[in-house]
Chain A
Amino acid sequence: MINSAYFMSMLISGLKLGSIYAIVAIGYSIVYGILRLINFAHGDIMTIGVYIILMLMNQAGVPIPAALLISVAFSVGVGLLIERLAYRPLRDASEETTLISSLAVSALLQNMLQMVFSAQRQPFMLPEALRTTHKIGIVNLSTINIITFISTAIFLVILHLVLTKTRIGTAMRACSENLRAARLMGVNVNRVVMTAFAIGSGLAVIAGFLLAGEYKTVYPSLGFVPGLKAFCAAVIGGIGSLGGAVTGAFIIGIAEMLFAGLVPTTMTAYRDAFVFLLMVIVLLFRPNGLFGGSETARS
């Protein structure tokens, strides 16, 4: 019999993983919603951010909050640069072409990281203060867990407000509804796309920080598979929908941890496969995801 404390701790781990996926999935979802582009480089921007933080902390002794801020700023710059050089020239090209471009960018970034920081795994330890555990009820929560939950909630609320209350947010929603019509109505599409990349890249770094703290190690391809899983989350929720991406992320995070915790140990290695199978099953019954409407033809 599985005791409830074990189950609860699994659930909490799932929620934590779900929060991280949610932050990444939002980045995928916003960009995909507007450009119909799966930005495979998204996961690698996450890795770049982690390396920058690591470098600032270890070599320059910068405190974590400052390191995080600098890293976010740097990665937003990288995200915008990629958009300008590799995606904007292909704005009118077919979906497959942009997909390949993003794969090439992903390979480029991974190899650059390997060249600059070497392919070796490097330890990434959060300071002691963030790792102390607190006993709340029957579950143990570390400080970083609590920070993860709170920051995810704050980011989601801010993003929701930006998307619904501000001018650029309205423009972003218009673009993901119908890019061509939005352009005809005088929306500056390039600015919208740049904002989407900036938000996505910034959030990816924060997710990367939390994820690296979880894995306790950094390597050049760190972000790729979590990035892919976050994309699965966005797909499950119905891509282009913010709420959908978040729900999908929590479904995947919790399902992944429960799978890892509850099946016999001989099966736990199928964890990644399980996540992807889950997505396939959802797509079988809801080809546009759980919250995606019917995909209308887009020009």
Chain B
Amino acid sequence: MNKTYRITDCSLFRLIVFVIVPLIILIRCAMQPTSYITGIVITMGIYIVLAASLNLINGFSGMFSMGHAAFMAIGAYIAAFFTLAPQVKENMTPGLPAWLINLQIPLAPALLIGGAAAALVALIVGFPVVRTKGHYLSVVTLALIVVVRAVIDNQGDITHGSRGLTGLPAKSTILSVYIAVVVTLFVLYRITHSDYGRGLIAMRDDPVAAQTLGINLVKKKISCFAISAFFAGIGGGLWGHYLTTISASNFYFSKSFDIVEMSIIGGMFSLSGSIPGAMFYTIVPEFLAPLESGFNLGGIRLPTMFGLSNIIMAVLLIVLIIFRGQGIMGTSEIILDTWFSKDTYLAPFRKEEYQRLAGVFRKKSS
């Protein structure tokens, strides 16, 4: 067989680029928990969870939700109720039931409870939401953000109102966040490759045809909405335990738009897209930030301009969707295929993988 291989087809190459290099970076960051770069990498991990869960609903089910911030808020607050110290809760949130005030549990179960609460809310609001179509659905999910914010701001004895919750344990470390990233991506990857996921894609591509093949559209839409909300809740919980101080304003329109934008940048039809999307969204502003404090342009000293990096990001986004509407990854799942395939990890022990890699380079040089 004389098939020509591209370098991205080589398991060994994929192992190095998508597994070993990121792992080294993560380990380096984990060893310096207080460094600035570690903070960026943690934020990136949380954004990956959020963007991937949004991709499930926006890319795979054909609904276009913009209400992720609402589910994040629910996840963050519920998780915080379980991890805050009892004496803190007595002062800040006296409206909680007594058993909850005295309860303090580790981060992982708290996140799961937060996610479950978000999923429950999604199930309840799902019935009216999925009745609407297209843009109407987007606007209804935006409305959800407003409602959640109003509730949080006005239930002062439970949520401490607009002053927000403070003193959350800073438990979102490299380790906990990236365990959540891998678990989330694995579950979503398996979902999209199951019967259920194929049904979702069928529904997205042609709802009527999908229905004639026995797919219950309403059930599918609501369940998909709830799964997505579950992971949004977990992402919100992680975000809360990274910030350690949360209020409803952290989970408003702009947060939702951020997630939608990174999902679009990475490519919403691919779960792998959440990774380059989140990277783009966390790393590029870091390079743009110095511009805001003024810089020299051809000998002219430009003044400080706050918001400049946001403006450049917005322009980049518009340019990107005009010239590459499908996002960075398109429909490719190359990153997750690499992560969750046995072949990748067996590659170093197979002789033909080395030969294949060598073959690719030989062809290039000739």
Interface residues of A (CB under 8 A from B): 32, 36, 38, 85-86, 89-90, 93-97, 99-101, 103-105, 107-108, 111-112, 114-115, 118-119, 224, 228, 231-232, 235, 266, 269-270, 272-273, 276-277, 279-280, 283-284, 287, 295
| CB <8 Å contact, B153 and A269 | yes
| B6 contacts chain A at the CB level, 8 A cutoff | no
What are 12 A-to-B residue pairs whose CB atoms are below 8 Å? A85-B318, A90-B325, A95-B135, A99-B64, A107-B257, A107-B314, A112-B311, A232-B139, A266-B154, A270-B150, A276-B146, A283-B131
Distance between Cα atoms of A89 and B319 in the complex (Å): 10
Contact B139 A235 (CB under 8 A): yes
User: In the complex, which residues 220-244 of chain B have their Cβ closer than 8 Å to any Cβ of chain A?
Assistant: none
Q: Does B260 contact A (CB under 8 A)?
A: yes
Nearest Cβ on chain B to A104's Cβ, whole angstroms: 4
- Partner-binding segment picked from B175-183, B301-309, B352-360: B301-309
Q: A86-B318, A270-B150 are in contact. List 8 more A-B contacts (CB 8 A).
A: A108-B310, A111-B310, A111-B311, A277-B143, A280-B140, A283-B136, A283-B140, A287-B132
Residues of B within 8 A of A111 (CB): 307-308, 310-311, 314
Q: Closest Cβ of chain A: how far from B186's Cβ, in Å? A: 27
Residues of A with C-beta under 8 A to B136: 235, 283, 287
**Which residues of the other chain, B, contact A287 by a CB distance below 8 angstroms?**
131-133, 136
B146 touches A272 (CB 8 A): yes
- Chain B residues with CB under 8 Å of A228's CB are 139, 142
Do A270 and B154 have beta carbons less than 8 Å apart? Answer: yes
Assembled-state Cα–Cα distance A224/B145 (Å):
14
Cross-interface CB contact of A105 among B133, B318, B325, cutoff 8 Å: B318
Q: Please determine whether A115 and B306 come into contact, CB atoms closer than 8 angstroms.
A: yes
Residues of chain B within 8 A of A38, CB atoms compared: 135, 138-139
Measured between beta carbons, the chain A residues less than 8 angstroms from B146 are 272-273, 276
**CA A274 – CA B146 in complex, angstroms?**
9
Write the chain B residue with the least CB distance to A295. Answer: B133
**Distance A283 CA – B135 CA, assembled complex (angstroms):** 12
In the bound complex, what is the Cα–Cα distance between A6 and B67 (angstroms)? Answer: 37
A104 in contact with B261 given A95-B135, A97-B321, A232-B139 (CB within 8 Å): yes
Chain A's closest residue to B311 (CB) is A111
Contacts of A266 on B, CB cut-off 8 Å? 154
Given A93-B325, A96-B64, are A277 and B147 also a contact pair (CB < 8 Å)?
yes
**How far does the alpha carbon of A235 sit from the alpha carbon of B154 in the complex, in Å?**
27
Q: CB < 8 Å: which of A114, A272, A283 contacts B307?
A: A114
CA distance A232 to B253 in the complex (A): 16
Of B268, B306, B310, the residue contacting A107 (CB under 8 A) is B310
CB closest residue in chain A, given B154:
A269
B322 interface residue per 8 A CB criterion: yes
Chain A residue with the shortest CB-CB distance to B148: A273
Least distance between B211 CB and chain A CB atoms (Å): 16
Considering the complex, give the chain A residue whose CB is closest to the CB of B150.
A273
Q: How far is the CB of A223 from chain B (nearest CB, A)?
A: 13
Q: Cβ of A118: which chain B residues have Cβ within 8 Å of it?
A: 306
B315 CB within 8 Å of chain A: yes
Complexed CA–CA distance, A228 and B264 (Å) = 22
Q: Known contacts being A107-B257, A269-B150, is A99 close to B311, with CB within 8 Å?
A: no
Chain B 256-277 near chain A by CB (<8 Å), digits 1 or 0: 0100110010001000000000
Whether A108 lies near B314 (C-beta < 8 A) is yes
Most chain B CB within a 10 A radius of its CB, from A85, A111, A119, A235: A111
Interface residues of B in 268-321 (CB under 8 A from A): 268, 305-308, 310-311, 313-315, 317-318, 321
Measured CA separation A101–B315 after assembly (Å): 10
A280 touches B305 (CB 8 A): no
**Bound form: Cα–Cα A292–B128 in Å:** 18
Contact, CB under 8 Å: B135 / A36: yes
Task: Decide if B140 touches A101 in the complex (CB within 8 Å).
Answer: no
Bound complex: CA A269 to CA B317 (Å): 35
Q: Whole-angstrom distance between the alpha carbons of A116 and B154 in the complex?
A: 34
A94 adjacent to B134 (CB under 8 Å):
no
Q: Chain B residues near A232 (CB, 8 Å)?
A: 139, 143
Q: Once bound together, how far apart are the Cα atoms of A32 and B135, in whole Å?
A: 10
Counting chain A CB atoms within 10 Å of each CB, which of B58, B64, B305, B318 scores highest?
A: B318
Known A284-B128, A284-B131, A287-B131; judge A90-B322 contact (CB<8 A). yes
User: Which residue of chain A lies nearest to B59 when distances are taken between CB atoms in the complex?
Assistant: A96
In whole angstroms, how far apart are the Cα atoms of A276 and B150 in the complex? 11
- Cα distance A112–B313 in the bound complex, in angstroms: 12
* CB-contact partner of A279 in B143, B307, B315, under 8 A: B143
- Chain B positions within 8 Å of A114 at CB level: 306-307
- Indicate if the CB atoms of B253 and A224 lie closer than 8 Å: yes
Residues of A within 8 A of B154 (CB): 266, 269-270
Complex partner residue of A99 from B138, B305, B313, B315, CB under 8 angstroms: B138
Closest residue of chain A to B143, judged by CB? A276
CB distance from A29 to the nearest CB of B (A): 13
Inter-subunit contact B138/A283 (CB<8 Å): no
Residue in B closest to A267 when the chains form the complex, CB atoms: B154
CA–CA, A124 and B273, complex, Å: 45
The 9 A-B residue pairs with the shortest CB-CB distance, nearest first, are A276-B143, A273-B150, A111-B307, A108-B314, A111-B310, A273-B147, A104-B317, A115-B307, A114-B307
Q: In the complex, what residue of chain B is closest to A82 when comparing beta carbons?
A: B318
Bound together, the chains give a CA A232 to CA B318 distance in angstroms of 25
CB pair B58 A96 closer than 8 Å: yes
Residues on the A chain within 8 Å of B58, using CB: 96
B150–A100 touching, CB < 8 Å: no
Taking a contact as CB atoms closer than 8 A, the residue among B133, B134, B257, B307 that contacts A103 in the complex is B257
Contacts of B318 in A (CB 8 A): 85-86, 101, 104-105, 108
A95→B146 CA distance, assembly (Å): 23
| A95–B139 CB distance below 8 A | no
Contacts of A101 in B (CB 8 A): 318, 321-322
